[in-house]
Amino acid sequence: MRIFKIFFLVTTIALFNCKSETKKEEVKVEEAKKPNIVVIYLDDLGYGDISSYGATELQTPNIDALASGGVKFTNGYASSATCTPSRYALLTGVYPWRNKDAKILPGTAPLLISTEQQTLPKMLKKQGYQTAVVGKWHLGLGTGIVNWNERVSPGPNEVGFDDAYIMAATQDRVPTVYIKDGNVVGLDKNDPIEVSYKENFKGEPTAITNPEMTTMKWHHGHNNSIVNGIPRIGFMKGGDAAKWTDTEMADHFLAKAQNYVKTHKENPFFLYYAMQQPHVPRTPHPRFVGKSGMGPRGDVILEADYMIGEFMKTLKEEGILENTLIVFSSDNGPVLNDGYYDDAVEKLGKHDPKGGLRGGKYSIFEAGTRVPFITYWKGKIQPAVSDAIVSQIDLLASFANLTGTAETATDSKDILKTFLGKSDIGRDNLVIEATGKTALRSGDWIYIPAYKGKNFREKVGIEVGNFPHEQLYNVKEDKSQQNNLAVSNPEKLSEMKQIFGKLRGIDYTRGVKEVQFR
Ligand code: NG6
Ligand code: CA
């Protein structure tokens, strides 16, 4: 009996020990688990377009919750004042001015990123991540001549994304279809798609030949093929069943992003959720129409904010909110009239999309590239406002560090601590780009070389920053770049030119004034 008792005791202890061992193991694994990473990237959202960055006429509670619960950067930059170059830098960690083709691409452009190149998703894949892109791509597809009726490649899958559900270029460019892992979604093989950016297909209506078919009027550009009453850039024929419904695009991408999270939550994932708002054409779902009192541009910002709230709910419901690092930002600064009459100018009222900065989309002035930039990680990042200079180009090196590797890319800097709110030190300097022009941010200063061309781009109503003389601003004291100190502060000017020259590989001190890289 006694022996039995002892035996019982021993086995119980052994069992107990064994149990606690496995428990320990589990905790260890849990601790070592790499966080999910989500980049929520808006299109043309300005520094002042959301209430957490000072907007008073628009309320964006869901984005604000990220800003107030995470690090809100006041000196956060996109790499360029237009979409393609910014996205190129975000995904490759390479400055867009190193690639002469990194400019706004047509819907038929070949893939801009080399399949040999380092990318953010490739690096994360090596670290054991599942990777996906949902939303706007605009980095080219294929190798030159694309047959949209077959699998289009190379594309996102070939540069590091396991899963890709995208629109090829922009909402205002053909082809107006969704593409899943290279295949046009819902394509009827009997109604093949043809796309051209050179000439129309015989007999197909355009905004010029059939203006009565348009429900949205074009202001400049945007007068080629008409899809859903909206005239686009580029010509497209066929593919009727596959065409997207513009007003449902936001819900559509949200559903894809939510579904991805739900079906991939067991292991770490990287999701690049590239939303289409508030780029033109602004097509809010009927439930958001009129909600902002500011016309479609304001309405789609509210729509985007709602989608982000729903997406965050999903992370919470799936139990992964506390293991997910979120980066929120925009690809470039704001524009009101980008080619359609849609009341953006007329109904703006007191709203200032630029948030007090000078310029806007396409501009080498601050509003072109300084954008909302937030990092959020519930329980891990303490709420803070940071003045550190950070750029989207730094996500690659910083996430490499986060996930346990030193792998990096040419221009990406590891500023993980800053992104996690544990340091106030950002970059010393940064080269910004706008339609082929570059400028330097270093410390509190901005240096802009002399550039040819007009400063004021009338059609879009934006100052792009071209002047026949050099410009130097202290953007800490002079946020809206009103006082050019190039003449009054020659020492600073010379210091800036030297730094800039080194970074750009150009000797600006020897009287070279104007260097546009394309
Ligand atoms: C411009 C378009 C503009 C917008 C932009 C790309 C015209 C006249 N303008 O060429 O509407 O589509 O390209 O925007 O066609 S971006 O955010 O993707 O860079
Ligand atoms: Ca954009």
pLDDT digits (tens, 9 = 90+) for 240-294: 999 999 999 999 999 999 999 999 999 999 999 999 999 999 999 999 999 999 9
DSSP at 95: -
**Span from the CA of 335 to the centroid of ligand 1 (angstroms):** 10
Closest ligand 1 atom to residue 338 Cα is 11
The one-character DSSP state at 113 is S
| Residue among 82, 104, 218, 275 whose CB has most ligand 1 atoms within 8 A, to mutate | 104
From 150, 149, 147, 177, select the one nearest 165 (Cα to Cα).
177
Give residue 33's pLDDT. 78
Residue showing tokens 């941010």: 441
Residue 104 C-alpha to ligand 2 middle, in angstroms? 9
The span from the CA of 372 to the CA of 479, in Å, is 15
Q: Cα 510 to the chain's mean position, in Å? A: 37
Cis peptide before 278 (omega within 30 of 0): yes
280 Cβ closer than 6 Å to some ligand 1 atom: yes
Atom of ligand 1 nearest to the CA of 280: 11
* Poorest-pLDDT segment among 3-7, 21-25, 124-128, 344-348: 21-25
pLDDT score recorded for residue 1: 46
Whether pTM exceeds 0.85? yes
Select the more confidently predicted residue: 470 or 9: 470
Nearest CA, atom 10, ligand 1: 104
For atom 4 of ligand 1, which residue has the closest CA? 338
Residue whose CB lies within 8 A of the most ligand 1 atoms, among 44, 79, 83, for a mutation test: 83
Residue 18 pLDDT > 50, yes or no?
Answer: no
Among protein residues, the one with the nearest Cα to ligand 1's atom 8 is 221
CA nearest to 111, candidates 80, 78, 88, 83: 88
- Asked if the model's pLDDT at residue 22 lies above 70, the reply is no
What domains appear along the chain, each with residue ranges and CATH number?
35-193+238-427 (3.40.720.10), 431-510 (3.30.1120.10)
Rounded to the nearest angstrom, the distance between the alpha carbon of 190 and the centre of ligand 2 is: 34
* Dist CA 475 CA 358 (whole Å): 11
As a whole number of angstroms, the distance between CA 296 and CA 348 comes to 10
Is any atom of ligand 1 closer than 6 Å to the C-beta of 279?
Answer: yes
Does position 12 have pLDDT exceeding 60, yes or no? Answer: no
Read off the pLDDT band of 342 (50, 70, 90). Answer: very high
- For the Cβ of 138 lying below 6 angstroms from any atom of ligand 1, the answer is yes
Residues 6+ apart with CB under 8 A from 159: 91, 111, 113, 115, 117, 119, 121, 122
pLDDT of residue 518: 63
What's the 21 CA to ligand 2 centre distance in angstroms?
52
pLDDT, mean over the chain: 94
Q: Say what the pLDDT of residue 508 is.
A: 75
Reply yes or no on whether the pLDDT at 25 is more than 50. no
Give me the mean pLDDT over the 44-55 stretch: 98
Which tens digits make up the pLDDT trace of 456-467? 999 999 999 999
Query: What is the per-residue pLDDT for 507?
Result: 80
What is the sign of the dihedral through the CA atoms of 414, 416, 421 and 422? negative
What is the rounded CA–CA span in Å between residue 455 and residue 472?
A: 16
Find all residues with CB under 8 Å of 14, minimum gap 6, and list them: none
pLDDT in tens, 122-142: 999 999 999 999 999 999 999
Contact 329, 42 (CB under 8 A): yes
pLDDT at residue 415 is higher than 80: yes
The predicted structure's pLDDT at residue 125: 98
For residue 453, with 0-12 CB atoms within 10 Å meaning exposed, 13-18 middle and 19 or more buried, which class applies?
A: middle
Does the C-beta of 82 come closer than 6 Å to ligand 1?
yes
